[in-house]
A and B are shown apart, each in its own frame.
Chain A
Amino acid sequence: MGLPLFTPSNDPGPSFVKFIETQGKDIMSALDSNLSPHATTVVAVRFNGGVVMVGDRQATGGYIASRDVRKIAAADHYTGVAISGSAARGLEFIKIAQLSFEHYEKMSDAALSLEGKANYLSPMIQQNNLYTPLTVVPLLAGWDLSHSVGRVFEYDGAGGCYERNDFAVIGSGTPFAESTLRLGFRDDLTREEAIDLAALAIYEAGDNDPSTGGPDFVRGLFPMIVVIDQNGFAEQDDGFTASTFRTINDRRTQSRGLAGGTLR
């Protein structure tokens, strides 16, 4: 490819997706195949200093296609993006989101606002989901630098973007994870409480939904836990995720699989 130069009237501006369309590459709409493993449950929970995201690691296509998919990624330093639905499309979607935000920042010498990032994803989802069966539903969460607050945005299958004041869930384990969050969410959650609640929601989803993977003690694979606060996106290390899920699992083992009347 040569130097992509434009005249002012046909210049695609700082949008990477618009630019790539001028090159005849339609990155989010071609239909390849019906056979694509699906990535499942991710939750995002707000707390008083940011947002916690937890996501399982399994991709399922009738059988377990992968046990170590990373469905949550740093879209940039202050933003996490997660996907459910077609794993192939979802992972490509994450790549485009990351590239688009960086592209905008380099082109304009200013980072997009968090709301700007959330809105940018809408037409990509709409275009993908309306024209292919390889549906993708993302989740965007981040630290809003202009308002010093953690924010969560969820999407519907048609690309509609909705901000949530409490929490958001995507993927096939949604009923179970959402029930847990609905019972356990409070306005004044601390960071630690939010991590425990979000992890419990994924544990519940893994326990009840066949497509959601729970903690895998045999292989030492655990759901991803990410905290986004004023210091930016931070994935928690394996030791921490292992002990968080081991604690939940030990409690459940003691009560023989029952929550036992409390959120535990």
Chain B
Amino acid sequence: MSNFMYVAPEQMMKDRAEFAQKGIARGRSLIAVIYDTGVVIVAENPSASLYKVSEIYDRIAFAGVGKYNEFDRLREAGIRWADSTGFTYSREDVDARALANYYAQHLGDMFTEGSKPLEVELLVAQLGNALRPTKIYRVAYEGTISDEPRFAVLGGDAETVRQRFLRTEGGPIGLAQTLQHAIAAISGPERTIPTADLEVGVLEERGKRRTFVRLSDAEVDTLRQ
């Protein structure tokens, strides 16, 4: 006599989704916003060395929330994919949409077939040029990919942060003001996040091939004023 117990697929998906959501909700939220000349990604991160926001390629940035070891492996895979695609073809053939799709497939596969779903949400941002648009893609734990028109929020409390940010949103504005709105949205009205606990990455045209930069605390302080 076996101990096999029937679980309805609906129930199984629901359990898995709850499991992943719980893991993700434990982490702090992260916001990415397209501003007039670039993309800024802001995360609340007390660690100054375990990054949530990273460079993937010349015009592509990555951000992850949830379990660090899980999204960091996906970050590495993304860099490897981008560098070898650019090496095989050309640098201009490395496209954020293709990468976001690969992430979506992997997260989807892990959600349905893996021994446990990955407890992460990912963001792939691309700075546009003559060939491609500026884009923010958000990939959820179960592999849903969404193309966010202006900004995206990931992590615990995402909906609250989203609503808060929507209230400050107008047309495209400069980096300083966008950053202030983004920080206000992830902090909420009751608290102020010290600059040391913020991680800020920017994709911006600076006359160089590689457009990703991490902003130092001093730079963030200047922009916050």
Contact = CB atoms under 8 A, between A and B. Distances in A.
B76 A3 contact: no
Which of B54, B87, B102 has the most A CB atoms < 10 Å from its CB?
A: B87
Q: Tell me what chain B mostly uses at the interface: helix, strand, loop, or mixed.
A: helix
Given A95-B87, A99-B87, A107-B76, A1 B81 contact: yes
Interface stretch (A15-23, A36-44, A122-130, A188-196): A15-23
Which of A2, A4, A16, A106 has the most B CB atoms < 10 Å from its CB?
A: A106
Given A19-B80, A107-B79, A3 B54 contact: no
Contact of A5 (B49, B56, B79, B106): B106
Interface residues of A, number: 18
Interface residues of B, number: 24
A106 B88 CA distance: 19
Contacts of A23: 84
Given A106-B55, A106-B56, A107-B76, A3 B84 contact: no
A24 to B, nearest CB: 12
B77 interface: yes
Interface string A62-101: 0000000000000000000000000000000001100100
Contacts of A237: none
Contacts of B74: 3, 5
A103 B106 contact: no
A1 B54 contact: no
Contacts of B76: 107
B68 interface: no
A120 to B, nearest CB: 15
A96 B86 CA distance: 11
B73 interface: yes
A106 B54 contact: yes
A109 interface: yes
Which of A3, A95, A96 has the most B CB atoms < 10 Å from its CB?
A: A3
A82 to B, nearest CB: 21
B85 interface: yes
Interface in A14-55: 16, 19-20, 23
Interface in B35-88: 49, 51, 54-56, 73-74, 76-81, 83-88
Which of B76, B80, B84, B103 has the most A CB atoms < 10 Å from its CB?
A: B80
A3 B87 contact: no
A10 B24 CA distance: 28
A4 B103 CA distance: 11
Nearest to A5: B77
Interface string A201-220: 00000000000000000000
A19 B79 CA distance: 11
A95 B73 CA distance: 26
A16 B54 CA distance: 18
A169 B83 CA distance: 32
Contacts of A107: 76, 79
B51 A109 contact: yes
A109 B87 contact: no
Contacts of A99: 83, 86-87
Nearest to B209: A102
Given A106-B54, A106-B55, A109-B51, A1 B85 contact: yes
A136 to B, nearest CB: 18
Nearest to A77: B208
A103 B76 CA distance: 10
A23 B86 CA distance: 15
A96 B80 CA distance: 14
Contact of B102 (A3, A16, A102, A106): A3
A19 B56 contact: no
Contacts of A19: 80, 84
A-B pairs, 7 with minimum CB distance: A3-B102, A4-B80, A3-B77, A5-B77, A106-B79, A103-B83, A3-B106
Given A1-B84, A3-B102, A4-B84, 5 more contacts: A3-B103, A20-B84, A99-B83, A103-B83, A109-B51
16 contacts: A1-B88, A2-B105, A3-B102, A3-B106, A4-B77, A4-B84, A5-B74, A5-B106, A6-B77, A19-B80, A19-B84, A23-B84, A95-B87, A99-B83, A99-B86, A103-B83
